[in-house]
Amino acid sequence: MKKVWLIVMLMGILAVAGLATQTLTVLMPIGGGYTIESQEILAKGFEQTHPGVKINMEFVGWANLWNKIVTSFGANNAPDVMYIASRWIPALASMGALTPLENYITVQKEHMYYPSVWSSLIYNGHYWGVPRAMSTKVFIYNKKLFKENGITKVPTNWDELLADAKKIYNPQKGVYGILMAGKKFVSTVTQFEQYLCANGGAIVDPKTGKVEIDSPQAIKALEFYKELSKYAQPGITNWTREDLIKLFEAGKGGMYIDHVHNALKAMKAGIDVGFFPIPGGPDSNAPYSTVVVVDCIAMSSQTKNKELAWEFMNYMSTLKEQTRWDTLQGFVPPMIKEAEEPEFQKWYWKPYIQALKYGHPQAAGIKDWVSTANAVLNAIQSVLLNQTTPQDALKKAAQTIEILQK
C-alpha cells in the first residue's frame, strides 16, 4: 500500500513538474519610454492565468532590436514572440523568420481595430503581426501667431497652407511660417511621406510592390515640400522632426506636423495650441491624410509552440492590456472600442484618431526599408539644397528602389 501511495505521489510531482516546463521567450525593446518594469507586467499577468507557463522576457535597446532578431534567427535561436516595426515585415517575411497569422486572427479580432491599422501588417497576402503601438500625425499650430497674422481659419488645402506659411513668416523676428525636417534621418522620410500620401502618392504600391516614388503625384509633393521650405526655419537640412518642438514651444513656428505628446509639451510651455488634419493635395481624392506608423508583435517561424505563442500575443492585445499600454505610453489607440475610454475623450486626442479614416501605411510593400529610406532621403536633400529638380531626384531614387524591390 505504501509503495502504491509513493508511486501516486511521484506521478503527481512529475505531473506538476511537467506543467512548469513550458517556457516562452519574448523579445521586447527598451528605451523611448519603454521600460522593463512596464513590460514585465504582461509576463506576470499571463503566468497567473496560465499555470505551468514561464514567460522569459528578453530586452534590448531599440537601436539593437533589428540586429538581435536577425542574428538570433541566423543562429536558429530566435525568440518565440518578438516586437518589431511594421516596416521590417517584408524583409523578415522574405527571410522566412515570421509565421503568417491569418489562421490565428479571427474576424472578431480583426474588427477590433481600425481598418487602416492592418494595412501596415499585410505583405504578400498574409498577416504578419498584431498591432501593439501606433501613431498618426496632424498639424499642430500656434493660435496666437495665426490670429496676429489675420488667419481666421485653418488651411484645408495646399494653397491655403502655403499662403498661411507666407503670412506668418517673419525671419527678422525669428518667426517661421512652418517648421520642417530635412536632415538625413528616418523621420524626415515620414515627414515627406505625409505630403506624398496626402497627394495620393506612395513610395511603392502596397499591394504590388511597384515603385511609384517618381509618379506625377510624388513629384508634385516634393515640389510643394521645396516651396514650403522657403518659409521654414533656416538650415532645414540640419533639422530632424524630433528637434522642431524646440522652436515651436519657444513660439518661433506657426505650424508643423507632429505627435500628440509634443503638442502637450508645447501647451505646458504656454503655447496656445490648435490642431488641423494634413490637407489633401491637388491630386488626392481625400480631404486629408496621415501616415500610420505601426509597431507590432510577431510570431517567430522557429517557435516550437505556436499555439502558446499565439495565446500570449492574444493576451497582450486584449482591450484591457492594449488600453493600459496606450494610456501609459501616450499612443494613439489602434482599437475602435479603446477610443471610447475616458483618456481618449480628451479634446486633443480627437484629431489624431479621426486622421485614421484616411490613413496610409508607412512602409507597406517595401522590401528593404533602410536602403529605400536612404534613397528617398538623398532625393529630398538634393532638392532642398538646390542640387537637382524634384523630377530628376525622384527618378534617381526610383531606379535605386526598383533594384531593391527585385
One DSSP character per residue, 326-341 reads HHHHTPPP-BTTGGGS
Q: Which are the contacts of 272, defined by CB distance < 8 A and separation ≥ 6?
A: 142, 143, 144
Long-range contacts of 267-273 (CB under 8 A, 24+ apart): 271/142, 271/144, 272/142, 272/143, 272/144, 273/140, 273/141, 273/142, 273/143, 273/348
Domain membership of residue 286 as a residue range: 138-291+363-404
Same domain, 148 and 238: yes
The grid coordinates listed for 232 are 521654414
Beta strands 122-123 and 126-127 are antiparallel
The helix/strand/coil state of 275 is strand
Same domain, 372 and 252: yes
Residue environment code for 109-146, b if the CB has 16+ CB neighbours within 10 A, otherwise e: eeebbbebbbbbbbbeeebbbbbbbbbbbbbbbbeebb
The grid coordinates listed for 110 are 480583426
Beta strands 53-61 and 255-258 are unpaired
The backbone region for 341, taken as left when phi is positive above 0, alpha when psi lies in -120 to 50, beta otherwise, is: beta
What is the predicted pLDDT for the residue at 17? 47
Same domain, 257 and 353: no
- Distance separating alpha carbons of residues 370 and 392, to the nearest angstrom: 21
Same domain, 222 and 274: yes
Triad 128, 193, 327: Cα angle to 5°: 60
Cα-trace Rg, the chain:
24
Same domain, 65 and 205: no
- Which run of H or of E encompasses 18? helix 2-19
Same domain, 24 and 170: no
What is the predicted pLDDT for the residue at 21? 76
What is the predicted pLDDT for the residue at 167? 98
Same domain, 99 and 46: yes
Q: Are 359 and 290 in contact (CB under 8 A)?
A: yes
Same domain, 260 and 143: yes
User: By C-alpha distance, which of 48, 115, 128 is closest to 295?
Assistant: 128
The grid coordinates listed for 362 are 508607412
Grid coordinates 503566468 are at which residue?
47
The grid coordinates listed for 177 are 511660417
Grid coordinates 513629384 are at which residue?
219
Give how many domains the chain has, as a whole number.
Answer: 2
- Distance separating alpha carbons of residues 7 and 311, to the nearest angstrom: 34
- Distance separating alpha carbons of residues 330 and 34, to the nearest angstrom: 11
What is the predicted pLDDT for the residue at 303? 96
What sign has the CA pseudo-torsion 58, 64, 69, 74?
Answer: negative
Same domain, 203 and 258: yes
Same domain, 160 and 260: yes
Low-confidence ranges of the chain (pLDDT < 70): 1-20
Same domain, 113 and 213: no
Grid coordinates 509634443 are at which residue?
262
Same domain, 304 and 376: no
- Distance separating alpha carbons of residues 25 and 60, to the nearest angstrom: 13
User: By C-alpha distance, which of 278, 250, 286, 261 is closest to 349?
Assistant: 261
The helix/strand/coil state of 394 is helix
23 beta partners: 54
Residue by residue, DSSP assigns 340-363 as GSGGGGSGGGHHHHHGGGGEEESS
CATH of the domain at 42: 3.40.190.10
